[in-house]
Each structure stands twice: as structure tokens, then as C-alpha cells.
Chains A and B, each alone.
Chain A
């Protein structure tokens, strides 16, 4: 079974530029999550999708962050304009309520963003 795919793996941008990350979840997983992990901290949920609908985006800085999940499969997360404090690893994960092993969660390998 293929895992959760993310790209790019690394990105360096200047502040005020825009950036986009892509995630392809495990086939059949209805729920998709974007987490932000700042160095030295645990991951923090930015947004959760159920199919192509948003379940929770309460911690998404909506003035600069946006995310979509078209057709309930792939998802993109965009930051525009980026700030220095957005430097972090962005983790995508997917889950299925039918999966009971490993908490039903599978993480992608993440995208490390550095804003200079």
C-alpha cells in the first residue's frame, strides 16, 4: 500500500513570497489533515478535511493560509504571503475510520519550509 505522498520535500522562500504544498493521501482515506510543526514543538493541527469538506480549521491563520481538497483526494496548502514564523515542517496525514491499527493515522514525510 502506497503511503501518504507530499511534495516538495524542502522549500526555501523569502518572506512575503507565496508557497504551496501538495499532499496525496492513502487511497480510500476519507480524512486528511495538515499539521504544522515548528522546531522544538509538537505538531499542531491546521486543518482537517472529511472528503472535500472542512471539518476543523479553527487554528488555520486564514489571513495568509488557505487549503483545499478538490474531489476529496489530493490537497494543497498555500501560504501567501509567508512570514518568518511560518518556518516549520508541514505534515500531511490521512486516516480512515475503518482503520483501527496505528490509530488509523498515516503521516507523510513532510515538507520543511524555511522563510528567510
Chain B
């Protein structure tokens, strides 16, 4: 299994509060991704990174920001959480954008 961890694994927060999710990898992969998974929608890309300090938006980036200061860590921040951001968040990694992505265990976020 690829060495990917996510923290926290579960979080309950209130509307309007900031939330940061962390993805940590030990594979030294260049590409890292954040997805959200909701019933009926499948996996949707939020943001991705193709190197340290190199990030770009995905399909559903509104309300989210990311940062990558080290190869191994990719942070996803909800600046002001809303109930519509209640979801399961998955981090994924790959060596290049041509290669298979490997997923972390996921973070279940509930925004009340």
C-alpha cells in the first residue's frame, strides 16, 4: 500500500469556522490531489499540486484553498466552512499525471 495518511480522519465543525485537512505521503510523489466524494457525484477534484508551491484548481475549488510547502504534505483549507462542504475528502498521489493515483483513507467532515 502507498504510504498516504490523512488527518483528522473524522471532524465535526460548525458553519463559519475554518478547517484544515492534512495529507501526508512517504512515497516522494510529485503529484498530490484533493477530492471530495458525495452520493450521486462520484469523486470530484478540488485542487491538485504538481510540486512544492505549485498548485492549481480543479472542478469544485470554490470555498477551498490549498498549500504545499513540502513534498510530503498537502493541506486543504476551508476558510469558512458551510454545510454544503459536508463530505468525505480523499487525498491521492501519483508520480506523474500519466500514472495511477493512489488514495489515502479519507476524512469524514460534518459541518453543522
Say whether A and B bind each other: no
A interface vs B, CB < 8 Å?
none
B interface vs A, CB < 8 Å?
none
